[in-house]
């Protein structure tokens, strides 16, 4: 059983219990009727070759790296650093078993920053979109390899109804061809192999190069240095989702500025 298959199996079992303790009706009652979506899609709607736009991620741990640095277990300081460093948006990993995430982190990010917030998780059920809306997300991640095409279509439609944007993640050109007809979403090209969890930026480069230029695309996983970003510069991309290299940095604001501008300060 692959890592993805194991996580999805665990997720479906957990959802059975969550639906009992927090039914959809209760989630709807917790959703702010005046909630304004911050423009996640509009921030990344076009591919360009200028200074990169970064989705900075809160990720407490990962299967490949173990526990990551969150000072005193509190993400507030990291969120502030991301804003100061010039992040365009935030990604909050809410999966608990393998990444130590929670919906509370999502709600805190919504409260503490004005940046658009993505709920990043292994979403398999419409219920999780209602959760995302209730806890303040502006967008949700859907993984093409984890879902049947009809399910992706239905979840994308529900997301639009709930005023949520969608980052639709692929790991290969074959996966993109399955979901190319799904419009109004950002395409995430993930460099991590779902079987081995290894990173291959060259493969992602080939996928992005083969995609139509009018499809907005976010490069995910394995971005650690400005040279990693420069690999994609000539292709034009909409942005980069970066987690581990920021979460392990002693100064994430400075690290962000170096990734965006190639130097620690914009005006150097």
Counting the structural domains of the chain, the total is 1
Domain assignment present for residue 267? The answer is no
pLDDT of residue 67: 76
Can you tell me the mean pLDDT for 239-259?
A: 94
> Using 50, 70 and 90 to split pLDDT, how confident is the model at 264?
low
Domain presence at residue 205: yes
Residue 221 lies in a domain: yes
Q: Does the structure show a pLDDT above 60 at 29?
A: yes
Least confident residue range of 14-18, 41-45, 52-56? 14-18
Q: What are the residue numbers of the active site? A: 57, 59, 120, 169, 190, 220-221
Question: What pLDDT is stored for residue 267 in this prediction?
Answer: 57
Given a cut of 60, is residue 5 above it in pLDDT?
yes
CATH number of 135's domain: 3.20.20.70
Task: Tell me if 266 is assigned to some domain.
Answer: no
**DSSP 8-state symbol, 234:** G
What's the rounded Cα separation, in Å, for the pair 13 and 48?
Answer: 41
Question: What is the extent of the structural domain holding 53?
Answer: 3-31+40-261
Q: Give residue 195's pLDDT.
A: 80
pLDDT for the residue 73: 57
pLDDT value at 257 more than 80: yes
- Per residue in 107-159, pLDDT (tens digit) is 999 999 999 999 999 999 999 999 999 999 999 999 999 999 999 999 999 99
Strand (E) or helix (H) holding 143: strand 139-143
Element holding 93 (H helix, E strand): strand 89-93
Checking if the pLDDT of 265 tops 80, the result is no
Residue range 183-235, pLDDT digits in tens: 999 999 999 988 888 999 999 999 999 999 999 999 999 999 999 999 998 89
Assess contact for 170 and 187: CB atoms under 8 A.
yes
**Is residue 159 a part of any domain in this protein?**
yes
User: 80, 102, 100: which is closest to 90 by C-alpha?
Assistant: 80
Residue 183 lies in a domain: yes
One-character DSSP codes across 148-212: -HHHHHHHHHHHHHTT-EEEEEESSHHHHHHHTT--SSEEEEE-B-TTT--B-HHHHHHHHHHS-
Q: Tell me, yes or no, whether 268 lies in a domain.
A: no
Q: What confidence tier does 19 reach under pLDDT thresholds 50, 70, 90?
A: very high
Q: What pLDDT is attached to residue 72?
A: 47
User: Model confidence over 66-96: pLDDT tens digits?
Assistant: 777 665 457 899 999 999 999 999 999 999 9
pLDDT recorded at residue 194: 81
Predicted local distance difference test score (pLDDT) of residue 1? 72
| Residue 162 placed within a domain | yes
The pTM of this model reads 0.94
């Amino acid at each position: 059983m692959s890592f993805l298959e194991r996580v999805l199996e665990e997720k479906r079992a957990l959802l059975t219990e969550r639906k009992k303790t927090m039914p959809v009706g209760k989630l709807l009652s917790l959703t702010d009727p005046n909630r304004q979506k911050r423009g996640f899609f509009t921030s990344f709607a076009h591919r360009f070759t200028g200074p990169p736009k970064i989705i900075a991620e809160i990720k407490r741990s990962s299967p490949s790296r173990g526990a990551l640095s969150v000072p005193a277990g509190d993400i507030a300081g990291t969120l502030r650093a991301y804003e100061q460093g010039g992040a365009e948006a935030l990604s909050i990993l809410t999966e608990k078993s393998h990444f130590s995430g929670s919906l509370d982190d999502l709600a805190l990010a919504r409260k503490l920053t004005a940046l658009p917030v993505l709920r990043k998780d292994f979403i398999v059920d419409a219920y999780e979109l209602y959760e995302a809306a209730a806890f303040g997300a502006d967008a949700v991640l859907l993984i093409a390899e984890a879902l049947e095409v009809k399910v992706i279509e239905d979840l994308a439609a529900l997301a639009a109804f709930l005023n949520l944007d969608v980052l639709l993640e692929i790991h290969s050109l074959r996966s993109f061809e399955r979901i190319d007809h799904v419009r109004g979403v950002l395409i995430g090209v993930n460099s991590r192999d779902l079987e081995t969890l290894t990173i291959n930026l060259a493969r992602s480069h080939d996928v992005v190069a083969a995609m139509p230029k009018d499809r907005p695309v976010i490069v995910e996983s394995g971005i650690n240095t400005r040279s990693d970003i420069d690999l994609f510069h000539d292709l034009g991309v909409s942005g980069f989702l970066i987690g581990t290299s920021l979460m392990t940095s002693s100064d994430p604001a400075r690290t962000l500025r170096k990734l965006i501008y190639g130097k620690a300060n914009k005006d150097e």
